[in-house]
Structure 1
């Protein structure tokens, strides 16, 4: 029987410490509540749900969330103007532009407009570069959450062969660099990889981040592997077919309840970090 990596329980335990940190911060900054500003462009119901969940998590630890909703017709210039306003607002400590934005909006340009001091979701090119070089930066929230989950369960990745399936700039690519920085030997694969099954069979750590339901078949994964499913699709399905893996792998994340709660937990923790940097201990 494998170890179930319960992200929901781990995130809940971290919230207690975050609450203490926020209380201490308010005691030294005149009672000002740390704020995460979220920008939602359009009316995608899944994105609206995610934004609401992040706001609820903020409030559970004594922080606040400012939700900005822009219509689907908003232009790149509209989004940039909103980001500029938030960058200049000293009461806002973190900025999240909910992904994805409508196709006509230049998402990368908007991401890179976010001040690196407030890039708590780890989406800027500047932040990515610093993270890849092993320099201090806010990591992209989902892969950073996965690294926190592995650390919580004392699963050392050093020296292990890891395969990351998916190469998005906010999940697969930063995941590969984070694992490499932690001394894993990493292969970055994707939907066009030739003989993907063979690459996965060699892996001691498998991260599914391709965005396709059950794209990675359970029989491709070797016994004793650590299995991280970063996908989520309607019906509670991930990127990996988890059937039979619990009986023969070293550790597995459930879907839901594995990676998702750790993403939100990391986003909130990094917002608290940003607020603490704005009000350092004297």
Structure 2
């Protein structure tokens, strides 16, 4: 069994981004800018935004966080996004999800300029991903693909089972795998007999937020396990959706939690923002 070390790869990617920022600054005289909208006081969201801010600082991005109260109005968020869309110093816009129930999340995501949609959630970018065209891809599944590539794991023709069908992870993950010529199956909360499907996976990718959902008897020998879940156990420890202790004895590769997919998500956000900055600079020439 070999660990897929996302922490080490994310450091490598940050070094590449840092070099790209220096080059960008030399040519344009400015630095890439990332703006984040954070609504409410959810501890997990706040911690994640803080990690993003620190990563931006490490690579030399300009970053700003728009912190808004839980009872914010739809109009107020829309006005902020419009302001960021029109701000030439902002290359990437990130809406930290989830948003409170009074907010129409779909409308908010659709309002973000697709050229600044570094999270890849705008329908324009979703469509480009689905049809295999270049655009912005959601950071977590993009990070998974980078991790597989780093370890020279061949995806072509492999049976890949994605557990979880969210717009943020499951669906884009399946699209990326399909674009890479894998045979893809998506399982979700209504899937009958999950074990029957997971046992067929050469590569099993799980992101549903259920501790120890995937047990040792649900994976075949030498399968590759990508644990995208992140949960806090009763003892306060961060754990994934896979029973790591037992499944790791049976698989060929596995991502740890923490230290696997998580760091890759932030690394891909940095990479996407630099990509947006370069494209936006070209448009302004």
Shorter-chain TM-score above 0.5: yes
What secondary structure does 1:69 align onto? strand
> What's 1:81 paired with?
79
Deviation for aligned residue 1:76: 1.9
What secondary structure does 1:36 align onto? strand
Any residues of structure 2 matched to 1:193-272 within 5 Å, and which?
193-234=191-232, 235-272=237-274
Deviation for aligned residue 1:246: 2.2
1:15-45: CA deviation from partner (whole Å, max 9, x where unpaired): 1111111001001112x12111000011111
What secondary structure does 2:67 align onto? strand
Choose the corresponding residue for 2:188, options 190, 204, 209: 190
Can you give the 5+ residue segments of structure 2 that lack an aligned partner in the other structure? none
What secondary structure does 2:36 align onto? strand
Deviation for aligned residue 1:266: 0.2
Deviation for aligned residue 1:156: 1.1
> What's 1:17 paired with?
16
TM-score normalised to structure 2 length: 0.96
What secondary structure does 1:239 align onto? coil
Q: Work out the CA distance in 1 between the residues paired with 2:282 and 2:79.
A: 29
Moved over 6 A (4+): none
- Asked if the contact 1:204/1:225 (under 8 Å) is kept, the reply is yes
Q: Work out the CA distance in 2 between the residues paired with 1:211 and 1:249.
A: 21
Deviation for aligned residue 1:105: 1.1
The farther-off stretch of 262-271 and 244-253 is 244-253
Deviation for aligned residue 1:203: 0.6
1:57-77: CA deviation from partner (whole Å, max 9, x where unpaired): 011111121110010001222
Deviation for aligned residue 1:247: 2.4
Q: Work out the CA distance in 1 between the residues paired with 2:123 and 2:169.
A: 13
What secondary structure does 1:79 align onto? helix
> What's 1:29 paired with?
28
1:169-212: CA deviation from partner (whole Å, max 9, x where unpaired): 11101101110110110000012100110000011111111122
TM-score normalised to structure 1 length: 0.97
> What's 2:46 paired with?
48
> What's 1:130 paired with?
128
Choose the corresponding residue for 1:175, options 173, 176, 188: 173
- Asked if the contact 2:216/2:250 (under 8 Å) is kept, the reply is no
Deviation for aligned residue 1:216: 2.0
- Asked if the contact 1:55/1:64 (under 8 Å) is kept, the reply is no
Deviation for aligned residue 1:244: 2.1
